[in-house]
A = this chain, B = another copy of it.
Amino acid sequence: MSTLEELRARLCTSVLSDCLDAAGHRNQAMQARIRPLDDALVLCGRARTGLYAEVYDAPAGENPYELEIRLIDDLKPGEVPVFSCGSSGRIAPWGELLSTSARARGAAGVVMDGLTRDVRAIREMKFPVFAGGIGPLDSKGRGKVVAIDVPVEVAGARVVPGDLVFGDVDGVVVVPRAIEEQVIAAALAKLSGENATREALARGDKLAEVFKRHGIL
């Protein structure tokens, strides 16, 4: 089987999404509000999950980042922290310093449905960050990780620790472990088929005929 790096170079979210659909897994794409900070970067790695709760207080003496820090410090090469933050827009888990630390551990990128900041520095690092928005707020007193390495939902897609997470300019898809091999094989096959379709369409063949011939759209 291919390495994560090979998959990152060859696959794309749209074809993965079609193959997940074909396998009967139809809720594997995150909602369109999740966007890359840098459209040119591709993310491919294994999910490590963190679940945020909204909080309204930061008690003195408590480390508000405790579980988040534990997750980052435990990252292995090729892993991707994936944070479930809800849709309040109040939780902003990510920034330059966490990007620096995650990259130092070999993380392949990060995904969250919350906000991120320090966008200029992160773009310069070429570190793949996919987020639900951009904002300067810190999470302290607004959100807190209450569980790590548990199943979560992020922007409508279920993410289980160990799932393959793939992101590019078209968005983010999650490939469950159990069907990973089958979906990747189907995706690589479909990518070849698309070339013939594209060429036929580019020279002006009718879509109806090309679709009949190749079954790809």
- On whether the beta carbons of B29 and A100 are closer than 8 Å, the reply is no
| Most chain B beta carbons < 10 A, residue from A12, A14, A152, A206 | A14
- On whether the beta carbons of B170 and A100 are closer than 8 Å, the reply is no
Q: A101's contact among B98, B117, B118, B201, by CB below 8 Å, is which?
A: B201
- Report Cα–Cα, A209/B51, bound state, in Å: 23
Query: Which B residues touch A70, using CB under 8 A?
Result: 208
**Cβ of A86 under 8 Å from chain B:** yes
**Cβ of A25 under 8 Å from chain B:** no
Which of the segments A1-9, A131-139, A175-183 contacts the partner chain?
A131-139
Query: Which B residues touch A87, using CB under 8 A?
Result: 87-88
- Report Cα–Cα, A146/B57, bound state, in Å: 13
- Report Cα–Cα, A203/B103, bound state, in Å: 10
**Cβ of A185 under 8 Å from chain B:** no
Query: Which B residues touch A105, using CB under 8 A?
Result: 204
**Binary interface profile of A, 77-88, with partner B (CB < 8 Å = 1, else 0)?**
000000010111
- A55-B51, A84-B56 in contact; A97/B141 too (CB < 8 A)? no
